[in-house]
Amino acid sequence: MQCLKSVAEGVEITVKVVPGASRDGIVGPLGDALKLRVSAPPERGRANAAVEALLANALGVTGRDVSVIKGRTSPRKTVLVRKLSIAQAADGLSAEP
């Protein structure tokens, strides 16, 4: 997956977020990003928290191991997932319906 990048702490995932959707979910690849939809509105960090929770659940890690590190106010974000290899991230994201 083009959206994954291995770093010393774990894996960085480039995402494109659609906030205010009818339900949360991973849509799939969109160019060099992973498209996500979250029902939370893009205000006061709610959408960012929803993105972190969605990815933590999909990848089987704790919520504190996932954090938005770039693009906090943009639809395009970089999310760091700690304690995960790029292979584990790819497997977890491809298993998501």
Q: What is the pLDDT of residues 50-93, one digit of tens each?
A: 999 999 999 999 999 999 999 999 999 999 999 999 999 999 99
pLDDT digits (tens, 9 = 90+) for 7-30: 999 999 999 999 999 999 999 999
Distance in angstroms (rounded) separating the CA atoms of residues 5 and 58: 17
Closest CA to 15 of 6, 31, 7, 63: 31
Give me the CATH topology for the region 4-94.
Conserved Hypothetical Protein Mth637; Chain: A; (3.30.1200)
What ranges in the chain are assigned the alpha helix state H? 46-59, 86-94
Q: Where are the domains of the chain?
A: 4-94
pLDDT attached to residue 94: 83
